[in-house]
Amino acid sequence: MKKLALILFLLFPLIALGQEDVINGILGIPFGTPYDTVYFELKNNLRTKKIRTSKDRLIILCEDVQHLGLNYSVLCLRFKYKKTIRKEAIPGFRIENGDTIYESMELDIPQFIPLLDRADFILLCDTENEVEQMLMQIKRTMGYKYKLNPIWGDPFDLDFVKRNDSYYGGTSPLNANLRGFSIYISYSAPLFAEQHPYSAILQYGPYGFGNDN
């Protein structure tokens, strides 16, 4: 009995660490939250920030957002549609032996709900040197809370990026075997590329909330 208690005592810190490692949400908003709820939460909590949305309800952009001690140029929230079925009774009738028999039919009505699946905190940069420095700032900030592991090789094939200038850590909220976030350098999205060609990015997800159908 004492031996079992000792084993559990030794394992408890590892179990607690694993639970703390799971990325459940950002800015107080859980991943998997529907689009409308996320939008109104941001409007309430980021009153002075500029918020833009896409017509397909799959992207929300917020400018100048603080996260874990760093001020990011842009927060890009990405959603995926989850298909659900709503059953609805429709009034109807049928004729039987000359009599009209009223009855209702149950129809399956498809519903498509966009769920928060990914969040990119972006530091927009003008030069290669600046974006490398910003990447290191993100790394230091996240390193205080999470164990970071290098990602060998640059997925975006930027000539100046070193082979170990990308990192990952944390745990997915849906799969304990998958990472919770990644840190890397990329060319900026077209919306920002003209003035700020490079981006240092802290990316949470995608996790698999929603299914794009």
Is residue 88 domain-resident?
A: no
DSSP 188: P
Number of domains present in the structure of the chain: 1
Mean per-residue pLDDT for 147-169? 74
Is residue 163 domain-resident?
A: yes
Mean per-residue pLDDT for 160-185? 87
**Structure confidence at residue 91 (pLDDT):** 75
Long-range contacts of 181-184 (CB under 8 A, 24+ apart): 181/23, 181/142, 181/146, 181/205, 182/151, 183/135, 183/138, 183/139, 183/142, 183/148, 184/135, 184/151, 184/154, 184/155, 184/156
Q: Which domain covers residue 154, as residue numbers?
A: 2-81+114-204
Is residue 91 domain-resident?
A: no
Is residue 101 domain-resident?
A: no
Is residue 137 domain-resident?
A: yes
Query: pLDDT tens digits, residue range 79-131?
Result: 999 887 777 777 766 777 766 767 777 776 677 899 999 999 999 999 999 99
Is residue 108 domain-resident?
A: no
Is residue 90 domain-resident?
A: no
**Structure confidence at residue 205 (pLDDT):** 95
Is residue 16 domain-resident?
A: yes
Residue 155: pLDDT band with limits 50, 70, 90: low
* Burial of 109 from C-beta contacts in 10 A (0-12 / 13-18 / 19+): exposed
Task: Tell me which of 86 and 180 has the higher pLDDT.
Answer: 180
